[in-house]
Amino acid sequence: MMTAMLHKQVAMNVKAVTDEGQFSGLGSVFGVTDSYGDVVVPGAFKESLAAHAAAGSMPAMLWQHDSGEPIGKYIKAEETEEGLALEGQILIDAGATEKRAHAHIKAGSVSGMSIGYSLPEGGYHWDSEKQVFMLTKIDLWEVSIVTFPANPEAQIQDVKSVLAKGGKP
């Protein structure tokens, strides 16, 4: 059984960044061979997300996979037809790291998201025809904002503003 935390990175494309730091996007895309030779299949996050829901928790939001650098919180995490859909909030006022992360996302100098996970026994198999590992069950620990993406198809899709909620700037 694999218990070490692994990482899988994906690209993000920020359309807008506001002072509030809210965003939504895909932390993982199904059916895409990444640079590690792995493919995440639909249903891979189902049990892990159910366990988080039962515990009243969410995967951690980290900066560059540093467990000492949480930068916000995820408000929603679910599987869609495309992949792992997330809604989150960067806690900009919490400190320097959060402000730096927000500034890099806004400037476009940070271009990736990456999942931190483990694979339980039976959570993957080798597809000899495609020459890839098929990841069928992922224990999701965290989703980080990172510099270097491995999968260009998963993206932050939107950064929400107070205006969208009827508030004032």
Catalytic site includes residue 52? no
Q: Write out the two tokens for 163.
A: 């205006």
Contact status, residue 80 vs residue 45, Cβ threshold 8 Å: no
Among candidate residues 28, 111, 114, 144, the one labeled active-site is 114
Q: Are 28 and 87 in contact (CB under 8 A)?
A: no
Q: Is 114 a catalytic residue?
A: yes
Of the candidates 20, 69, 98, 142, the residue annotated as catalytic is 142
For 31, 92, 93, 103, 105, the CA distances from 76, given in Å and listed in that order, are 22, 19, 21, 23, 20
* Catalytic-labelled residue, pool 28, 48, 65, 111: 65
| SS3 per-residue string spanning 24-53 | EEEEEECCCCCCCCEEECCCCCHHHHHHHH
Catalytic site residue 65? Answer: yes
Alpha helices by DSSP H, listed for the chain, are 46-55, 96-107
Please list the active-site residues.
65, 114, 142
